[in-house]
Amino acid sequence: MLTWLFYLLMLIGVPLIFCLLIYRLKEKMPNGNIVIPIVMGVIAFQTILPLPFYTVMPIFLDSSYELFKTFLLIIAQYYIYGIITIGVYVIYYILTKRSKKFIISIIAFTLIITILLCVIGRILFKERENYNNLYLKMEEIDKNDSLIGKTKEDVIKTLGEPLGTYEYEKTGEEVYTYSAGIKYVGIVWGDINIATTKHYYTFRVEFNKEDKVQDISMKEEP
């Protein structure tokens, strides 16, 4: 829940903070009634334009949202917002000769916001991996080579009926294929997959001419 609240804050709340910082100059800055709304419009446009991409893309993906990747795009935008805000205040100082302490405090505040976003975001949006039970089971079998030398009947007792079978034309050797589960890559807290992509795996069991297992392999589906 905390991750999604932070995500919404980044999408909507932080641009508003930058806009409010700039809006306070509207009446004080020469030509502020013209310049400030234009600058705010630029920030608003940059914020609103990518929103459909950030929110609609999960519908078209065979996974939940790759939030850790979009976070990088959002942070890139906020660097731009920070530069714009600092630039506006520097121009304001040049035009009005206001107190240096006031200008420095605003610049420091803008930098702190940007740095905090980077640090907190890096913690919350760090890429991790998680696996379902089937993946862990198949991975253990693959590592231990526990099926090597087993018969077809032994394989079916252990793994169940295969999803598919095929033979090599030249050798006549048969191959069983099984689903090997899912690896989740993205934002994972404990056993909860908050925002991840799904990577599906296949388990292959290859038999020799004596119908005994000679090789097994576990690979990601293309």
Residue-range domains of the chain with CATH: 2-126 (no CATH), 129-220 (3.30.1450.10)
Q: What is the pLDDT of residue 1?
A: 46
- 161 close to 201: Cβ distance less than 8 angstroms: no
Distance CA 22, CA 15 (A): 11
Q: Residue 124 in contact with residue 3, Cβ under 8 Å?
A: yes
Least Cα distance to 3 among 150, 195, 198 occurs for 195
* pLDDT at residue number 194: 59
Statement: the pTM of the whole predicted model exceeds 0.75: no
pLDDT at 103: 74
pLDDT of residue 88: 81
The per-residue pLDDT string of the chain (222 residues; one tens digit each, 9 = 90 and over) reads 445 566 666 677 778 888 888 887 777 777 778 878 888 888 777 777 776 666 555 445 544 445 556 666 677 777 777 778 888 878 877 777 767 777 787 778 777 877 776 676 666 666 677 888 999 999 999 998 889 999 999 999 999 999 988 887 777 789 999 999 998 877 666 566 556 678 899 999 999 888 899 999 999 987
- The span from the CA of 2 to the CA of 89, in Å, is 33
Q: Please report the pLDDT score of residue 201 as a whole number.
A: 95
